[in-house]
Amino acid sequence: MRDYLNDRPIKLRRATTVAITSRRPFLIAIGVCLLAILLIWLDHAYLLGPVRGTLQSVLSPIAQPLTNMRDGVIEFIPGWNENQRLRDEVTALQEEISQLEAELLEYKQDRIENRYLRQQLDIEHTHPWKVLGAEVAIRTPDAGRRVIVIARGSSDGVEAGMAVIGQTGNGPAGMVGIVEAVGPGTADVLLINDFGSQISARVLNDLYPALGLVKGQWQQGAQLRLEALDRDTILNLGDPVISAGLTERLAPELATARIPANIPIGRVAAISYNEYATTAEVQPYVDLDRTHYVWVILNQDG
């Protein structure tokens, strides 16, 4: 029995399955072709009308969402491109705005600088002075003294005792203060309305030009007082008061001894007479509380 079984060939079922599977694509292709031929023949014979209507009624609910999806995709692609284009335009506009803001800032700085340069040219054209422009960097918080710090120092040729002038609106370039201390890049300026400030002055009028001292009165609630006048001095309201250039003779110990003559200081605002002297309140030409830019007179003998 065992020999008999050994002599019989054994057929593997897997080989048969592989052979059938290998023929399946060929048979499917033939079937599809025959079905296509049949459908073409039926269509030419006008036998597919009822079938076509049934297929349309069945497939229409499925085809409509697919069509809508296709249209949405088609619309989305141009919309996405449009949004990207708008984003690019916004980015370009933001960069342009930033550039314009920088140019506007530079323009404003140049405009301010040009205005101060024009003022300086007018000052040098009107007076025999060589001046140096300087920004007011700090106003001292010390309530007991009136001092400002300017952004110029010894490296710019500034020295103690030099006169500092400013200008308010269309008024004359007038006295602001005297350089009190100097560093390499900054200098302290004692304002003329400080109690410690004294400047030799001349009052200009048609009768008798008077000489005196202009002293600061800020700590006593006023601006400037004109003192040391002759008892018989005749003053008028509105008389101009200018520096006399005589501080060295009147008060040689002061650092203001080298202040040049003819610097406008202010106008006579009030006059007081008594049996001993004549005094006057003087309104400065320059608003000392709103001065942001000044000029240092470098040639003291101008």
Answer whether residue 165 shows pLDDT above 90: yes
How many domains does the chain fold into? Answer: 1
Domain range for 186 is: 131-297
Check residue 122 and give its pLDDT.
87
Question: Has residue 266 been placed in a domain?
Answer: yes
Question: Has residue 112 been placed in a domain?
Answer: no
Question: Has residue 77 been placed in a domain?
Answer: no
CATH code where residue 252 lies: 2.40.10.350
Check residue 128 and give its pLDDT.
87
**Confidence grade of residue 275 (pLDDT, cut at 50, 70, 90):** confident
Share of residues in the chain with pLDDT > 70 (%): 70
Answer whether residue 64 shows pLDDT above 60: yes
Check residue 1 and give its pLDDT.
46
Q: Apex CA 166: angle with CA 162 and CA 172, to 5°?
A: 115
Rounded distance between C-alpha atoms, residue 219 and residue 119, angstroms: 31
**Confidence grade of residue 112 (pLDDT, cut at 50, 70, 90):** confident
Task: Average the pLDDT over 67-83 and give the result.
Answer: 63
Residues in contact with 64: Cβ distance below 8 Å, sequence separation at least 6, in sequence order: none
Check residue 281 and give its pLDDT.
96
Answer whether residue 70 shows pLDDT above 90: no
Check residue 66 and give its pLDDT.
63
Could you read off the pLDDT of 143-157 as tens digits, one per residue?
678 999 999 999 999
Answer whether residue 180 shows pLDDT above 80: yes
**Is-contact 295 132, C-beta < 8 A?**
yes
Share of residues in the chain with pLDDT > 90 (%): 35
DSSP code per residue over the chain:
-HHHHHHSPPPPHHHHHHHHHHHHHHHHHHHHHHHHHHHHHHHHTT--HHHHHHHHHHHHHHHHHHHHHHHHHHHHHHHHHHHHHHHHHHHHHHHHHHHHHHHHHHHHHHHHHHHHHHHHHHHHHHSS--EEEEEEEEE---TTS-EEEES--GGGT--TT-EEEE--TTSPPEEEEEEEEE-SS-EEEEETTSTT-EEEEEE--SS--EEEEEEE-GGGT-SEEEES--TT----TT-EEEE-S-HHHH-TTSGGGGPPS--EEEEEEEEEE-SS-EEEEEEESS-TTS--EEEEE--TT-
Question: Has residue 105 been placed in a domain?
Answer: no
**Is-contact 244 229, C-beta < 8 A?**
no
Check residue 192 and give its pLDDT.
95
Question: Has residue 109 been placed in a domain?
Answer: no
Q: What b/e sequence results for 138-162 when a residue is b if at least 16 CB atoms lie within 10 Å of its CB, and e otherwise?
A: eeeeeeebbbbbbebbeebebeebb
Question: Has residue 90 been placed in a domain?
Answer: no
pTM (predicted TM-score): 0.64
Average pLDDT, the chain: 80
Question: Has residue 95 been placed in a domain?
Answer: no
Could you read off the pLDDT of 218-270 as tens digits, one per residue?
988 889 999 988 777 888 999 999 999 875 555 555 555 568 899 999 999 99
Check residue 72 and give its pLDDT.
63
- Does residue 111 or residue 235 have the better pLDDT? 235
Answer whether residue 135 shows pLDDT above 90: yes
Rounded distance between C-alpha atoms, residue 224 and residue 217, angstroms: 5
Answer whether residue 282 shows pLDDT above 90: yes
Rounded distance between C-alpha atoms, residue 279 and residue 265, angstroms: 16
Question: Has residue 159 been placed in a domain?
Answer: yes
Cα–Cα distances in Å, from 189 out to 42, 150, 264? Answer: 112, 7, 17
